[in-house]
Every structure is written in structure tokens, then in C-alpha cells.
Amino acid sequence: MNRLFPLFPALALTLCALLLASPLRAAIDIYQFDNTDQQDRFHRLTEELRCPKCQNQSIADSDAEIARDMRERTARMIRDGHSDQEVVNFFVDRYGDFVSYRPPVNERTAILWMGPLGLLLLGVLAIVLLVRRASRRAELEEDDHP
Amino acid sequence: MSNKNTGLWVFVPLVGFVALAILLASGLGRNPEELPSALAGKPVPAFSKPSLISGETLTEERLTGQWQLLNVWGTWCPTCYVEHPYLLELAQRGVPIVGMDYKDEDDKARDYLARYGNPFTEVIVDADGQLGLDLGVYGAPETFLINPRGEIVLRHVGEMNPRAWDEKFAPVLRQAGNPLGGPQ
């Protein structure tokens, strides 16, 4: 056991290094941009667009053919001077709201956006009612036994 | 008074749970791959692509004038082999099917049709997948029903089979008064 002891620091260091390693990216294609701003936009957009084939992966993460096509189209549209919104609209027009990890607020997505807030309000309301009743009961009991 | 109230409130979580369970259970039966097509009701996007058969240039005009299917396939797609016999059967019954050879090699595609039979009245070559992208295709096979005005009426993702035909395509054709949909 003692002989193994010197190995511990090395092992710990290795584990730390593993923690630091960035998650493996499926997207290894290189895209050329005119400036870093375009590059940043590309990274943000490909993280925000969802792969229609391998659902629950962004097109930046996905190795599917269609995700590669979408990355290529995104890169091309950015280079051609399209705005972020135009890129997102392009894909939403073809694949529907599904393709965006940031769906628009409309009638069909209202429950998605408002649901959590509604549940929170319901919870707060329930707590308020419970606390009120408990305190009223406590008062009543005080009245009973002065 | 207070006791009576408590009696009813006790059931609130139960009712909530049952409601949630029903909601979630109804979602379980759905196929998550089946996305609502953003293109339903819209015209086929403009394109200019070669024909696999004649080499001539085809445009969206080719998809107007009659009810027809647009079937997205490729020799790399395993499910396409599975649905191929049914496409042949549909073609034999007189359903016009236009194929779209998606991200494929022409030679392989021609061999495939020579070997397994050709159910298509025409085959559009979409080697770079750009028409697929415009159509919202994300894999193969996918089958679109196109009306005579060249508009996409419905889209079926995955294998084309008698069930998909009977449940999705035939009712639309029947409603349009097209004999391919079967008797009214």
C-alpha cells in the first residue's frame, strides 16, 4: 500500500485533467469565416438549432448527415451576410418550430413557456393557504385554552 | 367547517396526479420521429435537378398536373429496400410515384432500379441534398403526397406500407374524389 502512495498525486492529476477536457464534439469539420464575430455566431446558432434526425442533440453535437448539411448551410448563410434570425427562420420554415431549441412564444407553445410559472404560482398559493389555515387553527386553539 | 374543507382538499393532489398521468400517457404512444411538416399546404420548393433516367433537367413543374407521390430514397438507406416492394405494388395499381434519389451515387441508383424494379415515373437526382433540405427531409425514406397544383398535402416519414397508405394517403385521395383512394 505504501509503495503505491507516490502514484496517488499522478492519478489525481490525471482525473483533474479528464474533468477539464471539453466534451467531445462530433462536428470536426472546419468552417472558414471572415472574422471571429461570424465564428461566434456560427457556434451559437449551431448550439441553438436542433437536429431533426437525432433528436435531443444540437446540430453542433450531432454526427448525422442532415446535421452536417445544416451546419454547412448555416455557415454559408452567415458568410453571405444573413442575420441570425434569418438563419433560424430558414430552418423553421422547413422543419417547423421543433428545430429551434428556443421556440417562439405563440398559442401552441404557451403552455411550454407559461406552464412552469403557472405551477409555481399554484404552489405559492397552496403554501399561503396552508399557512393561513394553520395559523388560524393555532389562534383557535389559543382561544380554547387561554 | 374546517374539517369538511380538508376532506375535499385531500383529493386535489390525486386529481392532479391522474390528470398528469393521462396527459403523459397520451404522449407515450406518439412517435417522436414524426414531426409536423412545416411544408404541409405549401407548394413544392422551386428546384432544378437532373433526371436519373433521361438526364434532362427537371423542375417543380414536374410535380404538378396530377396527384402523385414523391418518394425520397437512396441506395444507402436500409428501410428503402424494405418498402421497395410496396412501392412497386402501388405503381402497379396506377399510383404515379416520382422518386428523389437523395444523397446517392447515380450508378448505384441505376443498378438498384435495374435489380429491384423501378416503381418511379421519374427520378430526381438530389446528390447534394439541397432539395432535401428545402423539403425539410431529414432522412430516408420519406414520402410526400402532392396535389395537382404542386402543393404538399401530407408527408410520411419512414417505411411506406399498406397501413400508412390506408390510414394517411387513401383518405385524402378519396376526399379529393381520386379513384386511387379506393371507393368512397
**Which strand (E) or helix (H) includes residue B146?**
strand B142-146
Domain definitions of chain B by residue range: 1-30, 48-181
**Is some CB atom of chain A closer than 8 A to the CB atom of B18?**
no
Judged by DSSP in three states, B98 sits in strand
Residue A66 to residue B2, Cβ atoms within 8 A: no
- Which pTM value belongs to this model? 0.73
What is the nearest CA distance from B35 to chain A, expressed in angstroms?
A: 8
CATH class of the structural domain B48-181: alpha beta
**Is some CB atom of chain A closer than 8 A to the CB atom of B135?**
yes
**Is some CB atom of chain A closer than 8 A to the CB atom of B38?**
yes
Residue B37 to residue A55, Cβ atoms within 8 A: no
3-state secondary structure B16-39: HHHHHHHHHHHHHCCCCCCCCCCC
Q: What is the CATH number of domain A1-104?
A: 1.10.8.640
Query: For every one of its 146 residues, what pLDDT tens digit does chain A have, with 9 covering 90 and above?
Result: 556 666 777 777 777 666 665 554 444 567 888 889 999 999 999 999 999 888 789 999 888 888 988 999 999 999 999 999 999 999 998 888 888 888 888 887 888 888 899 999 999 999 999 999 899 888 887 766 65
- Taking the C-alpha atoms of residue A37 and residue B1, their distance in angstroms, rounded to an integer, is 67
Query: For every one of its 184 residues, what pLDDT tens digit does chain B have, with 9 covering 90 and above?
Result: 445 556 777 888 899 999 999 988 887 877 766 666 677 788 999 999 999 999 999 999 999 999 999 999 999 999 999 999 999 999 999 999 999 999 999 999 999 999 999 999 999 999 988 899 999 898 889 999 999 999 999 999 899 999 999 999 999 999 998 888 887 6
For residue A137, list chain B residues with Cβ-Cβ distance below 8 A: 2
Residue B38 to residue A52, Cβ atoms within 8 A: no
Query: In this predicted complex, what is the ipTM?
Result: 0.72
Considering only alpha carbons, which residue of chain B is nearest residue A98?
Answer: B35
Residue B32 to residue A94, Cβ atoms within 8 A: no
**Nearest residue, CB atoms, B35 vs list A73, A95, A133:** A95
Q: How many residues does chain A have?
A: 146
Considering only alpha carbons, which residue of chain A is nearest residue B39?
Answer: A94
